[in-house]
Structure 1
Amino acid sequence: MASETADDRWWYERYITYGFVAPLMARANAGENIELADMFDYPTEHGSDELLAMYDDAKRAGSSTNGALFRVVRFRVALAGALQLVNVAAQAATPVMVRGVLVSIENETFEGLYWVLGIFFGLLLGNWCNQTHLQMMDVATIRLRAVAVRVMFRRMLLMRSHEHRRTAADLVSVIASDTERFKDLAPLFHLLWASPLLVAAATYIVWRFLSWPALIGVAVMGLLFPTTVGLAAAMRRVRETAAPFTTARVRLIAEMLQGIRVVKMYRWERPLTAIIGHHRAGELTQMAKELACASGNNVMAAVAPHIAAVAVFAVYIHYIGPLRASDTFATMSMLTVLKHPMIYFGNALLMFAQAVVAAKRIREVIELGDDRGDGSVRTGVRGSAEVLEAKARRGGDERKLFHEAVLQWSSCEGPASTAEREPIAGTEPTEPALCDYAPFSVGPVTLGARPGAAVCVLGPVGSGKSMLLRAVIGEVAASQGTIGARCDWGTIGYASQEPHLFSGSVRENIILGLPYDRDRFVAACAACQLWEDLASFPAGVRTVVGERGVTLSGGQKARVALARVAYAQSPLVVLDDPFSALDARTGRLVLEALLDPEHGLLRDSVVLYSTHAPQHQWCAGTVVALDLAGRVTVTTNDRLNMPLVLSSPNAPAA
């Protein structure tokens, strides 16, 4: 079923009966497991690639960031608004038709039959329009959130770290929390205009029923508005108060699970359980307050129409005269209709205000950094990466990586503390200890490379090797000189000192979303000396490595990361001391298999790798030597005549 989308089913199944989910519901009711293959695939028009293309087209047309985001959902939002308008008309017309039925009964005519049919079809149409409007707003929210998250991730990946001006926690909060505000607003968005419209229509209709006393009932119902706004604000404050308790509890549980061996060894279960219980108690206290506010809101919703009706009828009887049954029931019906917009209009205003703030924060993230020439990669034109890779792999002119560049960490540009000068124990006011130290810098350096070349960055620990390599991938700024544009290479393969693995199988960690090619996979595993390890794993290449590769040793994680780079075969490869976690023999074999000028898997790529071991420089055509003062010396390496030695055990099935 995964190749079929819900849009491929008949329209009545999608918009009336929702029959397309019946098979899934039947399987779930029977207790069967539902797998991904049983689910419908998402329609192509809702895919992030299509949405990103629409966003980029709008930006090229001169739209603002918010305007380009809204373009992705404007049709569905407008259509949902039209459906909500029909729903408002049906709700306003229902009390009128109820009055017609009662008048027909009083006059003993057959017109009541037509009014009854009108009530039936009016309610049916109104409910269908309301439900379809909610469905369309949900789809619009999914599209809006998808394109916003995609654009923010693209911006983060294309920016240098010193341009972020935000912590990782801030960015995670924007991506995870602020985009959820759109989901909260979606079902209430059209109430911002539909509620006042329905109140105005209801006021006019009830005034036609009962003359001026009808305004008393509308005024009583209007008192619901400030009450619901106050209760909604109180619930929001309660949730904000409960958030620190929830965060502390979840963090403590996660830390306890990660260090469960230490917890069991020292028998810390009871004190940790007591701390978790304390946080949970505070959380439950706030939840009780929130439920009390919600209960108050529900009580107001149930009681207000009756109080309003009593007030209207009392004033009418006192000043005008006896009531007719038709006017009484029609007025009661109309006041009940007003209950929904009066209650939820305040919530809609609060959600709208929160969504505006969230949209501002999202726009700030999207507009971080500059828009300088990253070419088509930054504008999102599909296929550009493949074109750039093809150009990067062609031999010929040397590409400049650095030109008279002086590098320094942006985090070293100021003192580590922002504390004010204050006297301590009668001494002179103190300053942060690091403020007297100049930031560490590397350079100046001028370096170029052509496809098929290997560059070794050699130096002791603390000499700035990682800084130099991270400058190539755009994570370190140049205070002087220039750094080559990273987008010129299309894609960059990168392996850091601390390999990043996710909780998937070994094969998934190596191919990392690329199409699976068995020959390339076998060659990458053989080059990184992985087959002997894979043969000992219970499920071979399908063995799950756990979160962050927790089930693997340090050397195995490093070789999986190197196999990932070897499998990708990017035109530019950056290896930040990947051989430090390997023993001398294994490091030698992996180095030869990857970087040998004639037979290595990365022989067609530009490879920059760092090391503090001089024996690893033999396969590099250029050696960049660094010292502890940040001085750089670039020399040509003539030691390119070492023999290739490979050890490739029989590969198990991949």
Structure 2
Amino acid sequence: MLVTRNTYLLQILRLSKTATGHTTTGQVVNLLSNDVSRFDKVLMFLHYVWIMPFQTVLLTYFIWQFVGISALVGVGALFLQTVPVQGYLGKLTSKLRLKVALRTDERVRLMSEIISGIQVIKMYAWEKPFEKMVALARKHEIDVVKQASYLRGVYFSAMVFSERMTLFLTLLAYVLLGNHITPEKVFSLAQFYNIMQLTMAIFYPQAIQFAAEAKVSIKRLEDFLSLEETVAVTERTGNSKLGITISGVSASWEANSITDTLSQINLNVQPGQLCVVIGPVGAGKSSLLQAILKELPLYKGTITASSEVSYASQEPWLFVGTVRQNILFGQPYNPKRYNEVVKVCALKRDFELFANGDKTIVGERGVSLSGGQRARINLARAVYRESDVYLLDDPLSAVDTHVGKHLFEECITSYLSGKARILVTHQLQHIKYADHIVILNN
């Protein structure tokens, strides 16, 4: 299970941007919390698949020593009550397990979206409609869970009934053949059938049930592990003086797409140079950065970049933790560099206003901060990391003109002056400071 869990977690980190767009949060959580744990259960009982036939033959021989041919009546009855019936119930359980998993995925996905947008829901007083949506999703899940519970009830009833019924049929056949029952034989037969029932009516059916459920989980995990991963389309080199070289690159998000997302892109950005990328919405500016980050698959051309690349996304991403933790992002704390980054990213005044300065806890996705604060913390994280190349995806759009001017002059053009920089922006007043200007369209 540990190996499966590690493989699953590594796959999450390797998923391409296209694959993550087709994978819901609910599915990811459900696979990790439910499907992976199925392997523990199936391994506990799987050995009874081969133990049951061996034990049945051995116990049948012992019962034969007591009641002769009547043993075949009892063992045959027990076999018919357990193996075919439980095999059929196992198939039904497998189908219900798949239905439950799909309904659970949908409910968890819905709850995740509601929690993410709870501020908007509260602001527009949409609690009642969304409550009905969650209740309906839960009802659909419970309906399938009830079916599985009823099936499990039939299964346990059959377990209790099978051993007594088998003993009765054996003794009945023994008497009808003209034999006399003794307490010694009755108690011995009861013990033999009890042992046989534990394996044949309890452990073996559970092995079949868990194997059926594990088969469904394996298929779901296989589908997830088969999702598209990031491809090493960008060649990384340890040469910090290389910058970025893009040669004849054509790329598309969708395989066999009629139109290219990027077509015949050539660009060379050396250390110390600033490249400004402009163009209308949807022209492929962010896709150019995604190609450098190995997220956008290339089918033509090559991209060569220095080994250390920092990226500030267009949509700021913050995790639950302090502001400082969000900026450091696992990097060692260097007070001098940290204070410089805070200054050039215009965060010093914000820290003074925060109750606990940079030790203030940031809520999930930065819900406790303004859009401008999130954007500047997101930029500070990228700038704090010592890299050779900095990819900045429109970091100035969420701040006002005064702050945007400060970020461009103090951070992008001054503090990062010795680095290769690619800046995506819609603010054309900055392009006069660029060494390269890339205009993307169509």
- Whether 1:201 aligns to 2:55 is no
Q: Deviations over 1:193-240 (max 9, x none)?
A: 233333333333333443332232222221212222333443444455
In structure 2, the gaps of 5 or more residues are none
Contact 2:94 2:213 in 1 (8 A): no
SS of equivalent residue, structure 2 residue 387: coil
Task: Spell out the pairing of 1:486-525 with structure 2 (5 A cutoff).
Answer: 489-525=306-342
Moved more, 238-247 or 221-230: 238-247
State the partner residue of 2:429: 615
In the aligned structure 2, how far is the partner of 1:256 from the partner of 1:465?
Answer: 31
- Of 28, 52, 57, which aligns to 1:172? 28
Mapped pair 1:448 → 2:265: no
State the distance in 2 between where 1:174 and 1:593 align.
Answer: 46
* Alpha carbons of structure 1 residues 155 and 409: separation in structure 2 relative to 1, 3 Å: closer
Unaligned runs of 5+ in 1: 1-140, 378-387, 415-438, 630-654
Query: Matched residues in 1 for 2:365 and 2:285: separation?
Result: 25
Partner of 2:195: 337
Distance (Å, rounded) in 2 between the aligned partners of 1:178 and 1:606: 45
Residue 188 (structure 1) aligned to one of 20, 32, 45: 45
Assess if the C-alpha contact under 8 Å between 2:63 and 2:192 holds in 1: yes
- 1:561, 1:166 → 2: CA distance? 22
Residue identity in the other structure for 1:535: E
Aligned residue number for residue 370 of structure 2: 553
Q: CA deviation at 1:403?
A: 0.8
Q: Structure 2: how far apart are the matches of 1:399 and 1:327?
A: 88
The amino acid that maps onto 2:430 is: H
Q: 1:19-38, CA deviations, whole angstroms, 9 ceiling, x for partnerless residues?
A: xxxxxxxxxxxxxxxxxxxx
* Alignment of 1:346 onto 2:205: yes
- Out of 152, 157, 163, the position equivalent to 1:305 is 163
**How far off is 1:373 after superposition?**
6.5
CA separation in 2, counterparts of 1:360 and 1:271? 35
The 1:345–1:480 alpha-carbon spacing in structure 2 relative to 1, beyond 3 Å, is same
CA deviation map 1:351-394 (0-9, x unaligned)? 3345345445645654666998789x9xxxxxxxxxx78x243x
Q: State the match for 1:572 in structure 2.
A: 389
- How far did residue 335 of structure 1 move? 1.5
Instruction: Determine the structure 2 residue equivalent to 1:144.
Output: 3
Matched with 1:55 is none
Provide the secondary structure at the position in 2 that maps to 1:581. Answer: coil
- Tell me what 2:345 maps to: 528
Q: 388, 395, 403: which one pairs with 1:586?
A: 403
Amino acid aligned to 1:153: I
Secondary structure in 2 aligned to 1:580? coil
Partners of 1:359 and 1:583 in 2: CA distance: 51
CA contact (8 A) 2:277 2:422 kept: yes
Q: Does the Cα contact within 8 Å between 1:458 and 1:623 map onto a contact in 2?
A: no
Distance 2:116 2:230 in 1: 41
8 Å Cα contact 2:250-2:298 kept in structure 1: yes
Which amino acid is 2:22 matched to? Answer: T
Residue 249 of structure 1 and its aligned partner are, at CA, apart by 5.4
SS in 2 for 1:513: coil
Q: What is the correspondence of 1:164-563 to structure 2 with a 5 Å cutoff?
A: 164=19, 167-169=22-24, 172=28, 175-176=31-32, 178-222=35-79, 223-241=81-99, 273=131, 276-319=134-177, 321-342=179-200, 343-356=202-215, 358-359=217-218, 362-363=221-222, 366=225, 391-393=238-240, 395=241, 398=242, 401-410=245-254, 413-414=257-258, 439=259, 441-484=261-304, 489-563=306-380
Partner SS, residue 444 of structure 1: strand
| Distance change in 2, residues 1:512/1:217 (3 Å) | farther
2:407 is paired with a residue whose SS is helix
3-state SS of 1:402 partner:
strand
Q: Distance in 2 between matches of 1:249 and 1:370?
A: 27
**Contact kept in structure 2, 1:461 and 1:612, CA below 8 Å:** no
User: For residue 413 of structure 1, what is the amino acid of its counterpart?
Assistant: S
**Cα deviation, residue 544, structure 1:** 2.5
Are 1:573 and 1:606, in contact at CA under 8 Å, matched by a contact in 2? yes
Q: Is the 8 A contact 2:250 2:261 kept in 1?
A: yes
Q: Which amino acid aligns with 1:211?
A: G
Does structure 2 retain, via aligned residues, the 8 Å contact 1:188–1:348? yes
Provide the C-alpha distance between the structure 2 equivalents of 1:353 and 1:220, rounded to a whole number of angstroms.
Answer: 25
Task: Give deviations 1:520-579, integer Å, cap 9, x for gaps.
Answer: 433332221212212222233232222211111111111111111122223332111111
Query: 2-side partners of 1:409 and 1:374: how far apart?
Result: 13
Say if 2:14 and 2:229, in contact at 8 Å, map to a contact too. Answer: no
After superposition, the Cα gap between the structure-2 partners of 1:314 and 1:627, relative to the gap in structure 1 and judged at 3 Å, is: closer
CA–CA distance in structure 2, aligned partners of residues 336 and 616 of structure 1: 84
Give the Cα separation in 2 of the matches to 1:361 and 1:336: 38
| C-alpha deviation, 1:495, in angstroms | 1.3
CA distance in 2, matches of 1:373, 1:259: 35
User: Which residue does the alignment assign to 1:52?
Assistant: none
Displacement after TM superposition at 1:470 (Å): 1.7
Structure 1 residues 207 and 451: CA distance shift in structure 2, 3 A: farther
1:445 partner letter: I
Distance in 2 (alpha carbons) for counterparts of 1:370 and 1:289:
37
State the alpha-carbon separation in 1 of the partners of residues 96 and 163 from structure 2.
28
* Alpha-carbon spacing, 1:265–1:402, altered in 2? closer, same or farther (3 Å): closer
Q: Cα distance 1:616–1:304, how it changes in 2: closer, same or farther (>3 A)?
A: same
* Distance across 2 between alignment mates of 1:233 and 1:526: 64
* 8 Å Cα contact 1:192-1:345 kept in structure 2: yes
Q: 2:420 aligns with which of 600, 606, 612?
A: 606
Q: What amino acid sits opposite 2:7 in the alignment?
A: A
Q: TM-score, normalised by structure 2?
A: 0.83
Equivalent-residue separation in structure 2 for 1:172 and 1:540 (angstroms): 35
Distance 2:140 2:230 in 1: 47
Query: CA separation of 1:314/1:516 partners in 2, compared to 1, >3 Å: closer, same or farther?
Result: farther
Report if aligned partners of 1:174, 1:361 keep a CA contact under 8 Å in 2: no
| DSSP 3-state at the match of 2:397 | helix
Deviation at 1:447, TM superposition (A): 1.9
Q: Is the 8 A contact 1:503 1:545 kept in 2?
A: yes
Larger strand percent = 2
